[in-house]
Chain A
Amino acid sequence: MFGPETLFLAIPLLIVVTLSGGAFVGLSQRDLRRELKAWREGGLISADQAAAIQTRHAEVIQRERRDRLATILGILGAVVVALGVILFYAANWSEISRWVRLVALVSGIATLYFIGYVLRERRGHQNIGHGFIFLAAMLFGAALFLVDQMYHVQAHDPLAFLWWTIAAAGVGLVIRSAPIIALALLTFFAWLVYELVDLGYEEVNVLYFPALLGLYGLALYAAGTGAEPWLSRVNAARAMRVVGFAIALLILFGLSFRYGYGQEGGERPSGFALYLLTAFACAVAAGVAFLAIRRRRVGTFVEAALIMVSGVLMLLIVFKPEVGGGQDFEDFSSGAKLYPLLFNALLALVVLGSMFLGFIRDEVWLANGGVGYASLLVLARFVDFEAWSMLSRSLVFMASGLVVVGLAYALERGSLPLEERGE
């Protein structure tokens, strides 16, 4: 029943789980041993103190790693089970009456919430209890889909995703669960997609579709970063930043292709689509303003600038489309060039910025995300045979590679002691 549409929910969920799991916290054992040796040799600590620090650190790290792994496995397991349940009900197996299916599903939701609550609040099993609650939140979506199936609601009806968003957001905020809040943000993304498909604007510039979704991602990231002190109290900041980052970069990546630009422009969006565009653009601007006012962390200016430029470009492709001569890609002189070039350049800056910010702020997921999208960008441009000539791509690759090597040299030189720099 939901075939490929379900996947686009699963894939971002897996991205979120992977990114939010990230690497391991803090210094590795090897790094700490090296540091402790340097401190001992510098006379800062004694050998006994070094041994005590090493032992204590090993215990803390082991506990944190076990907890993090338990959380990731719990969430991953819950996602896989929930998708299996959705598929089971989607198969519409007539051997089980629809009433039995419905009762099984709603009683499953109640049971899972109860077990999750008891494990989490009464027995101290925070992680596995959380996994049960997450599964219950996922199954609520399955229950809504089942009701839609029972009454043959339109296949692309978006309302179920909106109800799911409200339910998941409520539970996520009450128990302060980043994964469940991330689920709410993703189901809202699904609602947006289905709603835009449902609007079915025929003569409107089709680029408003990815632009609106991209602005949603940017708004999440900007708000999650700008209002982090307040949103962190309910554990929403990280979920908003991770989901926003994944969505925004996915859209930027899509807009870096020349396909889809070479068309006759089309009308500007109006009505509901325009309201959404305006709302998300305002949210991006507000998030950037918060960042600019707070400016508490290293690289905030760079972050704010990249968000702002991304948002402005996304609005420009909607309201000032590049009207090309068609999509004859055998002739590289035809078709849109400016916006694809700009988005490629912007994407390169964003992935470099993500890696930079991720490493200096010790946000491993951000660095990992930057590396992941950088790899994707390099691979895509390398095999993008029909859109750009080999000669132009070769020049861009070489120039970009030299710039990145230059950055690496500058970073390494900056970390060398003065005498080794020859100063």
Chain B
Amino acid sequence: MNFEEVATNLLGKRKDELLKELYELSVEYRKEEELYSILIQLHNEKKIDVISAFEQIQRDNESYDFFMLQRMLERILPKINYDSVESVMKVLKRCMILVTGNMTSGLLVNPFIEFCKQNEKRIEEALGLSLKSLDKEIDFISIVLLAGLEVDFDKYYKQLEILIGDLDEIVQIGAVRVLGQFYSQSETRNIHKSFELLKKVIHETEKVNIKEVALKSLCKLLILDVKLEKEGIEIIEHVLFKPTDTMLYNIAELLFFYNKNLSWKLKDYLWSQLKAINPKHNDTIRNIDHALYSIAEENKSKAIQYLEKILLENLNGIGVENFCVFKSFLMKNEKSLNYLVTKWLLSKNITLCKYAYELIPSSENGRAISIDKRLALLLKKEDYLFLAKKSCGYLFTKPVSALSYLVSLLESSPFDKGIIDIEELIYDPILINYSGKTREYLYKIYSQSSAKVRNSLDRVTKRLDKYLNEIKSINYIAEFEPTSKQREAYSRYWNDSFSAKDLQPKGFFSSFFKTQVLLYGSSSINYIIHNPNEKGQRQEVFMHPQTISTELPRMSIINPIVLDYRLTMFRVEGCEK
């Protein structure tokens, strides 16, 4: 497709048709950059009006894909001419609002800065417009100031200083935000100048919103010049005397995005400030999670140290479950997982022991883990039984994990006397409760185990077989069965419990689909209509059975009280906190 062909497709189209055509071109046209050049040319020659077409863009329009068009705008905006800056700002705002909360929401900022930089008049006009109609949703002030600072630093820095003193909070925030954004490391003079300015703002303002933005800007300056760190930390301490959710979010964001740029001293300090995180603030937690992952790749022990600190200082609903990215790191690093589980089970701290459970994925019956070999070197005789009890108490509902850990204790323990106690725990509560998956696991590891472990396993499996055979030999006695009324009541109770689950909100994945219930049959027939004028295409989908099996601990039915009591005792025995 060449210039003429593209032009033929686009010329004379109405605004709504133009977007559709642009989209189709972006799909069909393989050479992306070439297409963008043609579009810029057509626009600048006023043959088409891209900006006015984007004024009506919608996110859920079936004729085009919003994100592809947004990308197109991102690429052509810096190079197009347009008389009305206001119109461009409107388009920008519309696009940004349509993707609020989405990672792509900031994609158009830099192209707009580039657009403004092409002509200083655009900057002046945009700044005027931003100050005239203050926008709470989009911070045009800082965007335009950034463009200005790049064009004429002194002029716009003065402007910035004036705006910081403005009476309106929106204006102040916009200006303060810019202070952390426009430097390269060579501009030490300007960095110091801005540092002083921020210091002044922080000490003088009473407004929390401004302090929140100032904190972020300040941290960015500290990244640029380590010399400022000592004084900067003192200022941050002052701000964080009363931390808000946004301040903690800002810190978490910095730790995530600037992990590699922050010094260890500053990192240590900022991590130590992540107390009292609001468990509902998912974005903050997500940023911490990613930051932990980045640190773990660099320095595992630091990551663990930070994680422990957060877990112990945020006892308000934040647990290991919240850090799935970091967990995925542990899944890939068996040694780290074993180290952390062993460390936490040994910690005598109930909170950390609970989190040891969360470290292991909840799928199936838990994955196999083992004692950390380095930590094992430091253990005394009684520590083995202590760890065995803790693993039973905390990992009980992930039986393969609990069992594998117990077996690893058997394997690594140099003390013969404690073996019987660990063996007893392998039998009861683990094997006696879960004789399915755990048995499979034992078969799997048997041949690789030492003679010492094999002897123990022989003894416990023999006991288990005896117990299971006795159960099997029990006669069916109708008199012991629950009455029909009880059965009905239980069935109702069970169904109600499930119905209640059905009413729960849809998950992320299921929200994409519409559920259809088939009352009869084993396949579903649908007619897919591609073109309204054509007959639909018949499609038959055969249903396949899906089963999930899970093993319930026997004693939760037979002997729940004692099971509960024993597990509780295993958990708390010997713990200090």
Whether chain B is bound by chain A comes out as no
